[in-house]
Chain A
Amino acid sequence: MRHDGPEPPSAVERLGRDDRSQDLIRLLAAWALVHESADDAWKAAVARGEAGRPAGPAGPGGPGDPGDAGAFADGLAALVAAEKERLKARLREPAGGADAGARDEGAIGRQLEAVAFELAELRGRLESLEASIDALLARGAPADPGADPTG
């Protein structure tokens, strides 16, 4: 069935946009990068995907049909292949690239907040101890003959 609106994203496109799926794709890319047999499998799947992609919009049941299970695997392989190239490029960069920098900054920011909280907590404990010590000192101070012990 066709409709006139924009094409809904395929399962693979949705997979590529989701942050958590990105973790999976990164992992698969890393796997492909370090294991030759896996890498060959991705390359073969990408080649099949490219060879089977029709020029126009995908027809039902054809190799480019978004609902076809083989097409999904090939599309996933393409995503993994692209991620693998990005991973390679990042590995070639001396300091891990801009993404890694931003991730590090986020992590450092969170750690700094946690440290600042612990410091503030420590200040709170010290203030509480100071109050207790002041109270003990007040109790031990020589009595003011005109003063009420509770006020």
Chain B
Amino acid sequence: MPVRGRPVAAVALRRGARAAWATGLGLRRGRAARAKGARELRLACEELGPTFMKLGQLASVRPDLVPPEVVFELERLRERVPAVPLDEVRAIVAAELGAPPERVFASFDPEPVATASIAQVHRATLAAAYRPVVGEPLPAGAPLAVKVVRPGVAEAIAADVAWARRWLARLARWPSVRRWRASALLDEFEASLARELDLRREGRFADRFAFDFADDPRVLAPRVVWRHTTRRVLVTEYVEGWRLSELGDAERAGIDARGLAVHGAEVFLRQVLVHGRFHADLHPANLFVTPDGRVCYLDFGIVGRTEPAQREAIAQVLVALAYGDPGRALRASRALGLEVPDALVPAVRARVAELVATHLTGPAPTDLRGFAFGFLAMLSDLRIAIPEGYGLLVKALVTVEGVARALYPDIDILRTAGPYATRLVAAQLLRPERLRARAPAALRAALQELLA
């Protein structure tokens, strides 16, 4: 067994044995048993390091590939990675920018402000003024965030993926493992990590995001300093503020928390429904609230995309859910690729109506997470395939609800999003090209009325 294989196999066996015990060697079925198995999987990912952490994070946004219990458990993955020694950081900066950080920047803080499985971030100050792609110029002395890819991470990931591929081929003999379509997840994981390891992509999306929201004074994306940015080093302005995950009552009192939460939901909908590109790795640690009450979006490593036809269907689903119309939500879902066999339609419609009544239209604030969990679990129980884009969207909406609640715990996200989605649906229905396509039939009916 290769050197890496031994510790991985040890953790997998230990956690697998615990999961087997918790589920009565697989004899106890049901959600509670599956949840216990999912918890062991999450703990195994945390123990196994960067590759498995990223694999777990990727699986946590893919309810189309993994069971809902695993999706919602993997959200809780917490990175516990040690900082990279300063000498190694200096060597990477020197290799990427031709000089060590002390010569590239006016100052460079040897202590990282954040460490993660892929990269770590140091503070620095800009040596000479710089004109960014979007926004006002940055003056000399401006505070910077220098993100540096951890040394050897690409090689470690490649080795772990190769190892995981060998084991998957063996485990694929079990139907329950085959059902997870783990091989597809691994392929996608490799491609996604290759993109994430190139920090220039993240910088380009940050610029695009800033351009898309240039008309919105409450949205902020850090300006990128391209002359110090390469594949393994990303330099942006350093934005002062509080991470949403660290926002205490005192900070919340000084800002319009409800306004920012509502606005945050609208910004997300605008990304999904208007621009067709969205920040797919939103969580409270990736959002800052600035002292002047703006929200700064960070870490554009994972980006989702929506096509125009999908955008329209997504808006229809949202409006249908906001107004408690399960039939319409299911019809619009078909346009997103969700195929419910005819024989199952009555059962699905009844279950969705029940979930809508329980989680979305009752007297209590809507619980999008509860609805999504129940909905995905139902699809999983009925063996109805979940299209990739659909799964990502459901998960992203739940995430937006979580982010908005981190700002303002009492927010009702669906009722907040409802009017915005309704306006978008109305605007889409009244688009001239759409009217031209649909007008002849409507006009014929109108003329018959007029001539009667």
Which A positions have Cβ atoms within 8 angstroms of B?
Answer: 20-21, 23-24, 27-28, 31, 37-38, 41-42, 44-45, 73, 77, 117, 120-121, 123-125, 127-128, 130-132, 134-139, 149-151
Contacts and interface: CB of A to CB of B under 8 A. Distances in A.
23 contacts: A20-B426, A20-B427, A23-B431, A24-B430, A31-B443, A37-B447, A41-B451, A117-B133, A117-B207, A121-B207, A124-B203, A124-B229, A127-B229, A128-B203, A131-B96, A131-B97, A131-B227, A134-B97, A135-B94, A135-B98, A137-B98, A150-B87, A151-B102
A45 to B, nearest CB: 5
Of A123, A125, A127, chain B has the most CB atoms within 10 Å of the CB of: A127
Interface residues of B, number: 41
Given A20-B426, A20-B430, A44-B450, A128 B200 contact: yes
Interface in B7-56: none
B128 interface: no
A45 B96 CA distance: 74
A121 B133 contact: yes
B229 A151 contact: no
A44 B211 CA distance: 51
Given A128-B227, A150-B87, A41 B96 contact: no
Contacts of B447: 37-38, 41
B90 A132 contact: no
A45 B450 contact: yes
Contacts of A150: 87, 90-91, 94, 100
A130 B133 CA distance: 16
Contact of B99 (A31, A44, A120, A138): A138
Interface string B71-105: 00000000000000001001100111111101100
A112 B45 CA distance: 48
Find the residue from B91, B207, B211, B231 having the highest chain A CB count within 10 A.
B211
Given A23-B432, A73-B450, A151-B103, A127 B94 contact: no
A18 B207 CA distance: 34
Contacts of A149: 94
A73 B443 CA distance: 13
B36 to A, nearest CB: 48
Nearest to A126: B226
A139 B98 contact: yes
A135 B430 contact: no
Contacts of B436: 27
Given A20-B427, A23-B432, A139-B98, A124 B450 contact: no
Interface string B429-452: 011100110010001000101110
